[in-house]
Chains A and B, each alone.
Chain A
Amino acid sequence: MIMMITGLLLILAGVSIMLYRKEILRMIIGFTVVDTGIHLVIVAIGYVKGGTAPIIDKAVSAAPPAMAGVKALTRVVDPIPSALVLTAIVIGLAVTGLMLAYAVRLSKYGNSTDISDYEEQKW
């Protein structure tokens, strides 16, 4: 519960960083903060009260492998949001790297990092 509230507040803080400042690098930092907030919200949904990590070895249930899953059902956290967030973190890194390469080239072309200096592109 606390994790979900922290995640939602981080999403709001990241969106306000993106809207409030005008330098390109600050907007990319705001985007990274929004990404972290969304991952916190998704992992908070998958938490089971009093659960442990979803790795089934002798500490969770000491039964032969065919029956170990049934004994572990009541003691293990949901594994599906973990798998989704694993993919999402790597894709967030790829998109951030691409945005930074674009920002470096843009600053070399226009010689400034303020977003309001590129107004001749709009019409």
Chain B
Amino acid sequence: MFDQIAMVVLGLISLAAAIYAMYAKRVLSAVIASGVISLMASIMFLIAAAPDVAMTEATIGAGLTTVIFLYALKHIRSRKGDKHD
């Protein structure tokens, strides 16, 4: 019973973050939203009794992917002079 409610709440937060990533004005906000989606997915894997997958998704999805996105954003921003969006 408590598991079902937690799953529904996590699913709604993930979908809200995905819709926010589509309509956000700045790319930085969309990158943080994709990190939030990976974090919610990692908690959902833990509730569904798969701890190896939860650990892998938390480190790689919410950690390393966001860091590599931020580095690429820094290099793209320093090429052009101004921000486009």
Contacts and interface: CB of A to CB of B under 8 A. Distances in A.
A pairs with B = yes
Interface of A: 2-3, 5-6, 9-10, 13-14, 16-17, 20-21, 23, 25-26, 28-30, 32-33, 36, 39-40, 43-44, 46-47, 51-53, 55, 77, 82, 85-86, 89-90, 93, 96-97, 100-101, 103-104, 107-108, 111-114
Nearest to B22: A17
B71 to A, nearest CB: 8
B69 A53 contact: no
A89 B53 contact: yes
B83 to A, nearest CB: 10
Nearest to B80: A111
A43 B34 contact: no
Interface of A is mostly: helix
3 nearest A-B pairs in the assembled complex, by CB-CB distance: A6-B11, A13-B18, A100-B72
Contacts, number: 130
For chain B, give the interface size range: 35 or more
Given A17-B18, A32-B65, A53-B49, A103 B85 contact: no
A36 B58 CA distance: 11
Interface of B: 4, 7-8, 10-11, 14-15, 18-19, 21-22, 27, 30-31, 33-34, 37-38, 41, 44-45, 48-53, 56-57, 60-61, 64-65, 68-69, 72-73, 75-76, 79-80, 84-85
Contact of A9 (B15, B31, B69): B15
A16 B22 CA distance: 8
Nearest to A81: B50
B27 A13 contact: no
B65 A33 contact: no
A108 to B, nearest CB: 5
A82 B53 contact: yes
